[in-house]
Amino acid sequence: MSHIITPDICDAHPEVQVLDPIFLNLGGREAFCGPVRTIKCFEDNTLLMQAVAEPGDGAVLVVDAGGSIRCALFGDRLAEQALENGWAGVVLYGCVRDVDVLAEMELGVQALGVHPRRSQRNGEGQRDLSVQLAGACIAPGQWLYADNNGIVIAEARLPLEA
């Protein structure tokens, strides 16, 4: 996806949803895309831990963490697992930690912010459902495209020129 950027996608496909410009690009892979898989949780990363331990097959994990900025749900150990299992990236409507390490990893990571405290692990949350965040409705199977310009959501994989 190195030659495709989100402004070009928006120009060619005005029907795409654009997430509000509130995310920081924190991973070592600045541009990434893939089919969406979702998690909804609040200050509990149990389901996120389970998801990155499974085959990602080039998907992007969209985590609706309720916009919490009180703890981090994702850090270097989970990022390492996500990379090993073939995830293209993680978009977190919440915080991450270990950002110096994340910046060196070939994984797409966008989040609202950075927090040093880890989350709880109570097993709460839901997977594979539509989530509403940052001005967009995001459902499993849609396609996410992200870079330093922002994040866009398409109903299906877009026919993009390389």
In tens, the pLDDT along 64-122 reads 999 999 999 999 999 999 999 999 999 999 999 999 999 999 999 999 999 999 999 99
Number of domains in the chain: 1
- pLDDT computed for residue 160 by the predictor: 78
- pLDDT computed for residue 144 by the predictor: 98
Q: How does pLDDT run across 114-155, given as a tens digit for each residue?
A: 999 999 999 899 999 999 999 999 999 999 999 999 999 999
* Residue 161 counted as domain residue: no
pLDDT of 161 over the 70 cut = no
User: Which structure tokens are listed for 118?
Assistant: 């880890």
132 Cα distance to chain centroid: 14
**Rounded to an integer, what distance in angstroms lies between the CA atom of residue 90 and that of residue 25?**
10
CA distances from 15 to 9, 18, 21, 100, 143 (A): 10, 9, 18, 35, 13
* Residue 160 counted as domain residue: no
Residue span of the structural domain in which 18 resides: 6-154
**Rounded to an integer, what distance in angstroms lies between the CA atom of residue 109 and that of residue 104?**
11
* Residue 35 counted as domain residue: yes
Beta carbons of 108 and 86 less than 8 angstroms apart: no
* Residue 53 counted as domain residue: yes
Question: Residue 106's domain is classified under what CATH number?
Answer: 3.50.30.40
DSSP the chain: -TT--HHHHHHH-TTSEE--S--EE-SS--SEEEEEEEEE-SSB-HHHHHHHTS--TT-EEEEE-TT--SSEEE-HHHHHHHHHTT--EEEEEEEE--HHHHTTSSSEEEEEEE-SSB-B-S---EESS-EEETTEEE-TT-EEEEETTEEEEESS------
115 Cα distance to chain centroid: 17
* Residue 60 counted as domain residue: yes
* Residue 159 counted as domain residue: no
Residues 103, 29, 152, CA angle at the centre, nearest 5°?
A: 120
* Residue 37 counted as domain residue: yes
- pLDDT computed for residue 1 by the predictor: 47
* Residue 39 counted as domain residue: yes
pLDDT of 2 over the 80 cut = no
User: Which structure tokens are listed for 153?
Assistant: 């959501």
